[in-house]
Copies of this chain bind each other. A is one copy, B any other.
């Protein structure tokens, strides 16, 4: 029997993490939950986020049979990982922040890394803390226009390229002012993988761009296979891990169910851009207050 992997996000941006997981686990069953009724998590208190995330984790594990959980939400990864582990103690749980920091550690020689993220993630300084634990110095930059530009569908648009150029110039200048010599850039938001070509075009050569969705999928292979009592998870490293590889073009062999707590229309309309395949019908679920 295929294993069931639960993927949780406050919205549908985490579908980029689901996409990366499908490449690594093409024979798994996936259950994705977007808590769209209660987003954004970024402006809410730690207590509230922990409560929402624990409810969501219990739904994926107890009602949908998830045997593994990936928290594809930067805010919940930063603030609620403990609460989720408490809520579903029998299930291995992985967030997106620690794998991103670990990948930056692998990529960086100078020890100075840059992070692009939403305002809420930057204010939590979760990436800076995770990078510090790996002996890295991190400079974080909030890029509040990038999520709406992706959601507008302007992922290959001159306006978006110009916005990225402006953000990059500000970040580069700030890093120089702090005497940093960065050689890695972490995409610390689940929407940003859709902007990877434009971002790679804007940053100077010699800076390695790290997609934390891909990093999380790689970490999932290690954690889940290590924790599984049976050799059920096939490790299938895609030929082109950052662009979807074969998985996006091959016939769908992966079973995916998507749930949302509200806003199913936007999820269905935009989701396929993130997943790089049709999301199909998104089922509405009520988690209560």
Contacts and interface: CB of A to CB of B under 8 A. Distances in A.
A268 interface: no
Contacts of A289: 289
24 contacts: A36-B43, A37-B43, A37-B44, A39-B43, A43-B262, A43-B263, A43-B266, A44-B262, A45-B262, A144-B148, A144-B151, A144-B152, A145-B145, A145-B148, A145-B149, A145-B152, A147-B148, A148-B148, A159-B159, A159-B162, A159-B163, A159-B166, A162-B162, A289-B289
Contacts of A43: 36-37, 39, 262-263, 266
A36 B45 CA distance: 12
A206 to B, nearest CB: 27
Given A145-B149, A162-B162, 13 more contacts: A36-B43, A37-B44, A39-B43, A43-B262, A43-B263, A43-B266, A44-B262, A45-B262, A144-B152, A145-B145, A147-B148, A159-B162, A159-B166
Interface string A43-56: 11100000000000
How many copies make up the complex?
A: 2
Nearest to A149: B145
Top 4 A-B pairs, shortest CB-CB distance: A148-B148, A43-B263, A145-B148, A144-B148
A30 B199 CA distance: 46
Interface in A1-50: 36-37, 39, 43-45
Contacts of A166: 159
Interface in A58-99: none
A267 B162 CA distance: 27
Nearest to A165: B159
A214 B262 CA distance: 33
Interface in A138-159: 144-145, 147-149, 151-152, 159
